[in-house]
Amino acid sequence: MPTVNVLQNRLAELEGGVAACAASSGSSAVAMTMLALAGSGDNFVSSFHVHAGTLHQFNTLAKQMGIECRFVKSRDPSDFAAAIDEKTKFIWVETISNPGNVILDLEAISTVCRSEGVPMICDNTFGCAGYFCRPIEHGVDIVVESASKWIGGHGTTIGGIIVDGGTFDWGQHPDRFPQFHDPKTRLWQRFGCRAFAVRCQFEILRDTGSCLSAPAAQQLLIGLESLAVRCERHAQNTAEMADWLREQPSVAWVSYVGHQDHRDHQGARKYLKRGFGSAICFSLRGGFEAGARFCDALKMVITTTNLGDAKTLVLHPASTTHEHFGPEERAEAGVTDDMIRLSVGIEQIRDIKADFKQAFEQVLQAENVRKSNVGKILLQDEINERLYGPSAREVE
Ligand SMILES: Cc1ncc(COP(=O)(O)O)c(C=O)c1O
């Protein structure tokens, strides 16, 4: 499809890769990448600090297919090295993790990958198609990304992308990666440094059918035209909001990789350019309830699981995306019960602050707010009930 092809080529260029394969969503791009490299009896190593949907996919879908995911909870590259064996097919990390804001040392982990002969894959959704981060320049072999976020930029279109950096030498590893040396398809001999993209496009996409439609590609291409302008403003607004939030008496803590005292600030300085992205996590004094009430009280800012929209968005992960994890697992993933994830938009900063201010005030006047109701943030069983009817809870 020519429109999809234009999108693939532009994203490959923006990420500094040699070819790309578009997918119907970020989640399908994740699954396709895994299927392109691993099969029953294989394993791969993933940072534990990844998007909840990815974590779930690696924990359940991969397992169902006989593929073992070995999670590494630490930031230490030697822990990644220790998890690799002859059946390991790739290492998976995120640029800035969602929602924990963890930045791993891409170059150090890439050195591990090089010496062990496994490709390194980075979900660069938060790197905004190369605007903030170009992982391939830091030794990453394959970039995966949800295009539904900053690339589209308006929450209107779902899509994903896989960019082949062209850097992994499949020819050196015929035993580990026989799929590139099949005598019928001879992907490595015929396509060389583009062999991985070709495998995704002509084998995995064909078999899974998770292709991006031409109208969706067109929407994403329109989004891409304003990506740089939006990201510039996202970064400015985010830096200002992060500082401002710290000064608010209602706020307990703020996590923003641009702050000098953030645990991964040095990593942010090394790997991010033109700003520190547009994600902040923070919490209100008053914990879970206060956070939920705050989201409920916002008037302009929207509560949703989406990210990277031109509009400012908030989410309370503990009661939504991470609701199905136990409290301990949530804490390990950097999701505390009080945490609010904020995706700062490109509105006038004074309008965002004004909405936050009035919401802080409403939280303080707790008697004006429904006490036991978590408001617009629906728990998963409430969502099920709304979608499938009142029996959904009992069936679960
Ligand atoms: C880092 C990351 N990767 C992948 C995805 C999945 O993308 P999609 O929503 O397009 O399926 C998301 C979604 O939030 C994400 O944040």
Judgement on whether residues 95 and 176 belong to the same structural domain of the protein: yes
Which atom number of ligand 1 is nearest to the Cα of residue 149? 10
Domain end marker among 190, 223, 256: 223
Per-residue pLDDT band at 372 (split at 50, 70, 90): very low
Express each pLDDT in 269-327 by its tens digit.
999 999 999 999 999 998 888 888 899 899 999 999 999 999 999 998 887 777 777 87
Residue 223 has pLDDT above 90, yes or no: yes
pLDDT of residue 394: 57
Count up the domains in the chain and report the number: 2
Which residues are CB-neighbours of 385 under 8 A, at least 6 positions away? 392, 393
pLDDT of residue 368: 47
Q: Is the CB of 237 within 6 Å of ligand 1?
A: no
Domain end marker among 206, 223, 240: 223
Ligand 1: distance of its center to the CA of 352 in Å? 24
Which DSSP state fits 174?
Answer: T
The average pLDDT across 196-218 equals 97
Q: Is the CB of 343 within 6 Å of ligand 1?
A: no
Domain end marker among 223, 249, 276: 223
Judgement on whether residues 197 and 255 belong to the same structural domain of the protein: no
172 touches 40 (CB < 8 A): no
Judgement on whether residues 45 and 91 belong to the same structural domain of the protein: yes
pLDDT of residue 377: 53
Best of 24, 25, 27, 132 to mutate for ligand 1, by most ligand atoms within 8 A of CB?
27
Closest residue by Cα to residue 135 from 127, 275, 91 = 127
Ligand 1: distance of its center to the CA of 250 in Å? 30
Residue-range definition of the domain harbouring residue 128: 2-223
pLDDT of residue 130: 98
Q: Is the CB of 298 within 6 Å of ligand 1?
A: no
pLDDT of residue 385: 78
**Residue 68 within any structural domain of the chain:** yes
Q: Is the CB of 27 within 6 Å of ligand 1?
A: yes
Judgement on whether residues 300 and 233 belong to the same structural domain of the protein: yes
Judgement on whether residues 289 and 164 belong to the same structural domain of the protein: no
Which DSSP state fits 60?
Answer: I
Express each pLDDT in 328-338 by its tens digit.
878 877 788 89
CATH number, domain containing residue 283 = 3.90.1150.10
Judgement on whether residues 52 and 135 belong to the same structural domain of the protein: yes
Tokens 């008053």 -> residue: 286
Distance in angstroms (rounded) separating the CA atoms of residues 204 and 61: 16
295 touches 375 (CB < 8 A): yes
121 touches 74 (CB < 8 A): no
Judgement on whether residues 96 and 239 belong to the same structural domain of the protein: no
| Ligand 1 atom 2 nearest Cα | 51
Tokens 């408001």 -> residue: 375
**Residue 396 within any structural domain of the chain:** no
Judgement on whether residues 20 and 163 belong to the same structural domain of the protein: yes
pLDDT of residue 365: 87
- Computed over every residue of the chain, the mean pLDDT equals 93
Judgement on whether residues 205 and 181 belong to the same structural domain of the protein: yes
pLDDT of residue 217: 98
CATH number, domain containing residue 150 = 3.40.640.10
Q: Is the CB of 49 within 6 Å of ligand 1?
A: no
Judgement on whether residues 165 and 261 belong to the same structural domain of the protein: no
Which residues are CB-neighbours of 219 under 8 A, at least 6 positions away? 152, 156, 157
Ligand 1: distance of its center to the CA of 371 in Å? 32
pLDDT of residue 382: 73
Q: Is the CB of 140 within 6 Å of ligand 1?
A: no
pLDDT of residue 384: 73
pLDDT of residue 374: 45
Distance in angstroms (rounded) separating the CA atoms of residues 321 and 359: 22
Judgement on whether residues 251 and 326 belong to the same structural domain of the protein: yes
**Residue 310 within any structural domain of the chain:** yes
Higher pLDDT, 4 or 376: 4
Residue 375 has pLDDT above 70, yes or no: no
Judgement on whether residues 249 and 362 belong to the same structural domain of the protein: yes
**Residue 263 within any structural domain of the chain:** yes
Express each pLDDT in 227-279 by its tens digit.
999 999 999 999 999 999 999 999 999 999 999 999 999 999 999 999 999 99
**Residue 79 within any structural domain of the chain:** yes
Q: Is the CB of 317 within 6 Å of ligand 1?
A: no
Lowest-pLDDT range, 75-84, 101-110, 131-140, 331-340?
A: 331-340
Higher pLDDT, 267 or 395: 267
